[in-house]
Structure 1
Amino acid sequence: MKSIATFLILILAMVGVSAASAQSQPDATSHAHHPAAADQPQMDVPAETETAVAVAERFSDALSKGDLKTVEELLAPDVLILESGGAERSREEYLGHHAISDAKFLKGTHRQLLRRRARTAGDLVWIGSESELHAEKDGKPLVLLSTETMVLRQTPDGWRIAHIHWSSRPKR
């Protein structure tokens, strides 16, 4: 009985913390989706993450240029890529499926980085990026709001991408 009471107290405490946290969060109308100066992304990238962030940028640049050799080099063999409810569970699976279509789409796309945050934890760095992708679809301009999370792992060969999660939606 004592353990049930302790459990209930913990649950109530967590609900109270969640409610207090939710109240302190800005509402959707006050949430800014773009930095004040469109040409200056908001960056929160500590010095200890800069080398990993440079690898993530190199990967994005290579993919947009169709340089699949560099894409392959920067992905860990066991990379997990999640996008649009789907998963690719290895470098070979990604290179054999979506990498080609991703490169084709990105080739004609301009990416405008809006925000980036990076943090380190041991031999891992995670990077969260928000961007606008400017493209054309059926001859008409298309602007997508895109989010990307990458986790990079330090290896004997340098930083390698162990996980990517991409999400996007049309800008209203």
Structure 2
Amino acid sequence: MKMKIINILLVLLMTFSFAVNAHGDKNKDKGLFKGIDTPAAKVVLAFHQALETGNKELARAQLADDVTIYEGGRVERSADEYAHHHMLSDMKYLASMKSETLEHQVTILGNTAISASRSHTKGTNKGKERDYQSMETMVLEKQNGDWKIKHIHWSH
């Protein structure tokens, strides 16, 4: 319970600092990419690459078994649930889109890491033009020496 409270506080702290940076910092180009060479960040990047290239096994391997994924008012409560349902539609969608990361910060505190990013996505999907910015927050946990994604929150 104590670790969950700490994780929630960390997410709130990262979200607040992310929001401050996203709303007109004088040095807007400085510090938008931090910690992206860390092992935890490499897991996030591998997950994104796997989704974009349709590599279901690699994407699934980056997730903790008990991952929770929040998107569009819905929740998936395990890696298997995501892999058997929404992952395939995410892969199809991303195959038709072009996405550019605008900022990405990864902070590691012990066995917990928080990844916060903002992206610009555009393209055509199912005959509809899309052009929007999205936000992503991930919480990662070091399990048996490997970083795994425990929580994802996507919004746009």
TM-score bin (small chain):
0.7 to 0.9
Q: 2:23 aligns with which of 6, 28, 31?
A: 31
Q: Secondary structure at the match of 2:80?
A: helix
1:123 counterpart letter in structure 2? N
What is the deviation of 1:31?
A: 2.6
Distance 2:23 2:66 in 1: 36
Q: Using a 3 Å threshold, how does the CA distance of structure 1 residues 115 and 46 change in structure 2: closer, same or farther?
A: closer
Distance 1:167 1:136 in 2: 19
1:164 corresponds to: 152
What is the deviation of 1:36?
A: 6.4
2:23 counterpart letter in structure 1? H
Distance 1:165 1:143 in 2: 20
What is the deviation of 1:106?
A: 0.5
- Tell me, yes or no, if the aligned pair for 1:46 and 1:119 is still in contact at 8 Å: no
What is the deviation of 1:139?
A: 4.0
2:143 counterpart letter in structure 1? T
1:79 corresponds to: 67
Q: 2:33 aligns with which of 43, 47, 66?
A: 43
Deviation string 1:143-169 (CA, Å, 9 cap, x unpaired) is: 12110001111112511111100001x
Say which structure, 1 or 2, has more relative contact order (CA 8 Å, 6+ apart).
2
What is the deviation of 1:42?
A: 2.3
2:120 corresponds to: 132
Q: Secondary structure at the match of 1:120?
A: strand
2:87 counterpart letter in structure 1? A
Q: Secondary structure at the match of 2:92?
A: helix
Distance 1:113 1:128 in 2: 11
Q: 1:116 aligns with which of 88, 104, 111?
A: 104
Distance 2:55 2:31 in 1: 26
What is the deviation of 1:141?
A: 3.5
- Tell me, yes or no, if the aligned pair for 1:41 and 1:114 is still in contact at 8 Å: no
1:44 counterpart letter in structure 2? K
Identity rate, percent: 32
1:155 corresponds to: 143
Shifted more, 132-141 versus 145-154: the winner is 132-141
- Tell me, yes or no, if the aligned pair for 1:41 and 1:113 is still in contact at 8 Å: no
- Tell me, yes or no, if the aligned pair for 1:124 and 1:153 is still in contact at 8 Å: yes
- Length, aligned pairs only: 136
RMSD: 2.7
- Tell me, yes or no, if the aligned pair for 1:151 and 1:161 is still in contact at 8 Å: yes
